[in-house]
């Protein structure tokens, strides 16, 4: 149907599609690279009729096993559906295929004065389709929101082989249930997205970026609250702790101070007449909370270097440890100090080093547990630590995932935040779209009768997740 060239089942060839950026792997039975929405819909229908699982995948930068075909079946990948179909500046919309790389869209738009706001750190590799699947975030969600806030319409393929165009598209609203919003972040468990209408935003004339240096994470956390309470609306507030700084500076040479206990990267967008002033106010807030140094990026090159260091933080961890395990917990901003303190205690107790690189403005933590997967038993221990940290975030009134998704990894941990009744309603909703449960099975929902415990296992001979300086892994 899609042509012999674009479908294969050879065990050697499909091996490339067994993993994403998470530690888990599973072999698909077949890989299909459709060239059109109609082909996607036909594949979905045939899979459903044959009772074969179907998993959509593009950039495969999922950190939670979201695209690992854990029950085998067919992997659909969007390598050929990577076209920007329309840019309509008059109506502030673009229409794209799911395989369009996030950064590619903004690169096309920026010279024309607009951009697509969500900028996950993996934006050079992740696709808009994948972003819709996980409702991806990034550093700038603090002011601008996440993927769903910028998606106004979807074309989707259902297991019936139907193609549906949902949502208002170029309009701002449409009566009926907001299925577009519902499908954002559903991790490919209800339908496969084949086309996306996204909102375009004027590029801020100026972005000012500050680096604030603190002696410890608690004072840095307090500075975050002070900035927010002052009435400033920052575009981003990112934090890195001492250990992270070592790795990031070694990799990026952006000028992060190696002796700092924590640094904040704060950014404000605005017009030239205002942004500098607001940046100064943010700097004052940081100093008032005890920042020992606050630096303004002098030019765009310095600003980009700081951001490159931050966005490449995960890849840089390879300098500290052969392996790391990353989490994506969220806590209310005011609970940051208590949560970071508790994570520090877990590190002390277990002897595993834990780095913290995260979106402080949103309270979205990314603790990284450093370990060596070739040491007997370490990986299992690390999973238990991860589980403990997610429980901690949930107990602080937060969530177990802010932007990476539940995927395979956290399907049991979801019970920390939702009751059986909550999950049952979600399951009923899923079955309306996919009664046979063929869409990305084994994800999001706990296994029947499962208990809250780590779900992933380290496969033998596993090398993914061992990040060297040359590898690219983002958060």
Partner 1 sequence: MKAQVSRVLPGQEIGVDEQRELAVDGLTPARVMRPQSPQELAEGLQALSATSAAAVVHGGDTQIGLGSRPARYDVALSTTRLSRLLEHEPADLTCRAEAGMRVGDLQAILRAHGQRLPLDPPRPEKATLGGMVAANSSGLSRARYGGVRDWVIGIAVAYPNGVIARAGGKVVKNVAGYDLMKLHTGALGTLGVIVELNFKVQTTPEADDTMLGHFDQRGDALAAGRWLARQYLAPAAITVLDREVLQECGLTADWRWTLAIRLEGYRREVEIARDQAAAAVRDHAGRVESEPAPAPARFWESVRDWTLGQDEAVLLYATTSLSGLSPVIDVAGSDSRVMAEPASGTAYVRVAPGAAVGLLDRMRGAVKGSGQVVVRRAPTASKDELDIFGPPPPGFALMRELKRTLDPNAILNPGRFVGGI
Q: Which residues from 342-381 bind partner 1, rule CB under 8 A? A: 359, 362-364
- When binding is defined by CB under 8 A, the residue of 34, 53, 99, 137 that contacts partner 1 is 137
Does the protein bind partner 1 through residue 284 (CB under 8 A)?
A: no
Query: For 24, what's the count of Cα atoms within 13 Å in the CB-facing half-sphere?
Result: 23
Nearest approach, Cβ of 288 to partner 1 (angstroms)?
15
Q: Which stretch binds partner 1 (CB under 8 A): 31-39, 166-174, 344-352, 372-380?
A: 166-174
**Selection from 146, 148, 154, 80 nearest residue 119 by Cα:** 146
Does the protein bind partner 1 through residue 111 (CB under 8 A)?
A: no
- When binding is defined by CB under 8 A, the residue of 118, 120, 185, 337 that contacts partner 1 is 185
* Range 43-62, binding partner 1 (CB under 8 A): none
Q: Check: CB of residue 320 under 8 Å from CB of residue 243.
A: yes
- When binding is defined by CB under 8 A, the residue of 85, 288, 429, 447 that contacts partner 1 is 429
Nearest approach, Cβ of 325 to partner 1 (angstroms)?
19
* Residue keyed to tokens 């100093």: 287
Does the protein bind partner 1 through residue 176 (CB under 8 A)?
A: yes
CA distance 225 to 363: 10
How many residues touch partner 1 (CB under 8 A)? 90
CB-nearer residue toward partner 1: 280 or 292: 280
Does the protein bind partner 1 through residue 421 (CB under 8 A)?
A: yes
Does the protein bind partner 1 through residue 274 (CB under 8 A)?
A: yes
- When binding is defined by CB under 8 A, the residue of 298, 428, 451, 461 that contacts partner 1 is 428
Nearest approach, Cβ of 195 to partner 1 (angstroms)?
13
Does the protein bind partner 1 through residue 341 (CB under 8 A)?
A: no
- When binding is defined by CB under 8 A, the residue of 109, 305, 368, 414 that contacts partner 1 is 414
Q: Check: CB of residue 399 under 8 Å from CB of residue 339.
A: no
Q: Check: CB of residue 352 under 8 Å from CB of residue 382.
A: yes
CB-nearer residue toward partner 1: 270 or 309: 270
- When binding is defined by CB under 8 A, the residue of 26, 400, 408, 439 that contacts partner 1 is 400
Does the protein bind partner 1 through residue 452 (CB under 8 A)?
A: no
Nearest approach, Cβ of 211 to partner 1 (angstroms)?
23
* Range 224-253, binding partner 1 (CB under 8 A): 225, 228-229, 231-233
Could you write out the three-class secondary structure of the chain?
CCCHHHEECCHHHHHHHCECCCCCECCCCEEECCCCHHHHHHHHHHHHHHCCCEEEECCCCCCCCCCCCCCCCEEEECCCCCCEEEEEHHHCEEEECCCCEHHHHHHHHHHHCEECCCCCCCCCCCEHHHHHHHCCCCCCHHHHCCHHHHEEEEEEECCCCCEEEECCCCCCCCCCCCHHHHHCCCCCCCCEEEEEEEECEECCCEEEEEEEEECCHHHHHHHHHHHHHCCCCCCEEEEEEHHHHHHHHHHHCCCCCCCCCEEEEEEEEECHHHHHHHHHHHHHHHHHCCCCEEEECCCHHHHHHHHHHHHCHHHHHHHCCCEEEECCCECCHHHHHHHHHHHHHHHHHHCCCEEEEEEHHHCECCEEEEECCCCCCHHHHHHHHHHHHHHHHHHCCCECCCCCCCCCCCCCHHHHCCCHHHHHHHHHHHHHHCCCCCECCCCCCCCCCCCCCCCCCCCCCCCCCCCCCCCCCCC
Does the protein bind partner 1 through residue 192 (CB under 8 A)?
A: no
End-to-end CA distance of the chain: 37
CB-nearer residue toward partner 1: 4 or 90: 90
Does the protein bind partner 1 through residue 402 (CB under 8 A)?
A: yes
Q: Which stretch binds partner 1 (CB under 8 A): 9-17, 24-32, 242-250, 401-409?
A: 401-409
Nearest approach, Cβ of 372 to partner 1 (angstroms)?
30
Nearest approach, Cβ of 399 to partner 1 (angstroms)?
4
Nearest approach, Cβ of 169 to partner 1 (angstroms)?
8
Does the protein bind partner 1 through residue 387 (CB under 8 A)?
A: no
Q: Which stretch binds partner 1 (CB under 8 A): 54-62, 71-79, 200-208, 466-474?
A: 200-208
CB-nearer residue toward partner 1: 230 or 381: 230
Q: In the stretch 59-98, what mask flags binding to partner 1 with x, by CB under 8 A? A: -----------------------------xxxxxx-----
Nearest approach, Cβ of 393 to partner 1 (angstroms)?
9
């Amino acid at each position: 149907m899609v042509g012999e060239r674009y479908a294969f089942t050879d065990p050697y060839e499909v091996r490339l599609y067994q993993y994403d950026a998470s530690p888990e792997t599973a072999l698909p039975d077949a890989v299909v690279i459709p060239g059109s929405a109609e082909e996607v819909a036909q594949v979905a229908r045939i899979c459903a009729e044959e009772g074969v699982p179907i998993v959509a995948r593009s950039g495969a930068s999922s950190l939670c096993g979201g695209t690992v075909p854990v029950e085998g079946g067919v992997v659909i990948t969007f390598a050929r559906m990577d076209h920007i179909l329309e840019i309509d500046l008059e109506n502030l919309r673009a229409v794209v295929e799911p395989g369009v790389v996030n950064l590619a869209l903004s690169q096309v738009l920026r010279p024309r004065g607009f951009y697509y706001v969500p900028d996950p750190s993996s934006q050079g590799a992740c696709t808009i389709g994948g972003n819709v699947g996980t409702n991806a975030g990034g550093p700038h969600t603090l002011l601008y929101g996440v993927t769903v806030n910028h998606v106004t319409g979807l074309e989707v393929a259902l297991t019936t082989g139907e193609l549906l165009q949902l949502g208002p598209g170029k309009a701002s609203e449409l009566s009926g249930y907001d299925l577009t919003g519902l499908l954002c972040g559903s991790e490919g468990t209800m339908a496969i997205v084949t086309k996306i209408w996204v909102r375009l935003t004027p590029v801020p004339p100026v972005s000012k970026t500050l680096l604030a240096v603190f002696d410890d994470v608690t004072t840095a956390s307090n500075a975050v609250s002070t900035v927010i309470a002052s009435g400033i609306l920052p575009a981003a507030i990112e934090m890195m702790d001492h250990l992270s700084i070592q790795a990031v500076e070694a990799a990026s040479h952006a000028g992060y101070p190696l002796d700092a206990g924590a640094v904040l990267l704060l950014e404000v967008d605005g017009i030239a007449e205002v942004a500098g002033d607001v940046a100064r106010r943010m700097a004052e807030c940081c100093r008032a909370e005890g920042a020992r140094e606050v630096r303004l990026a002098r030019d765009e090159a310095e600003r980009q270097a700081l951001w490159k260091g931050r966005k490449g933080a995960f890849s840089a961890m390879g300098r500290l440890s052969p392996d790391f395990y990353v989490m994506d917990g969220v806590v209310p901003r005011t609970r940051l100090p208590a949560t970071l303190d508790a994570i520090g205690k877990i590190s002390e107790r277990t002897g595993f080093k834990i780095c913290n690189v995260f979106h402080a403005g949103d309270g979205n933590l990314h603790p990284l547990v450093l370990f060596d997967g070739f040491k007997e038993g370490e990986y299992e221990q690390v999973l238990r630590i991860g589980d403990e940290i997610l429980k901690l975030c949930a107990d602080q009134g937060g969530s177990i995932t802010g932007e990476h998704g539940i995927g395979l990894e956290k399907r049991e941990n979801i019970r920390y935040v939702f009751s059986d009744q909550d999950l049952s309603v979600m399951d009923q909703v899923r079955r309306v779209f996919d009664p046979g449960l063929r869409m990305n099975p084994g994800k999001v929902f706990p296994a029947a009768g499962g208990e809250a415990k780590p779900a992933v296992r380290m496969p033998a001979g596993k090398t993914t997740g061992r990040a060297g300086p040359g590898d690219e892994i983002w958060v």
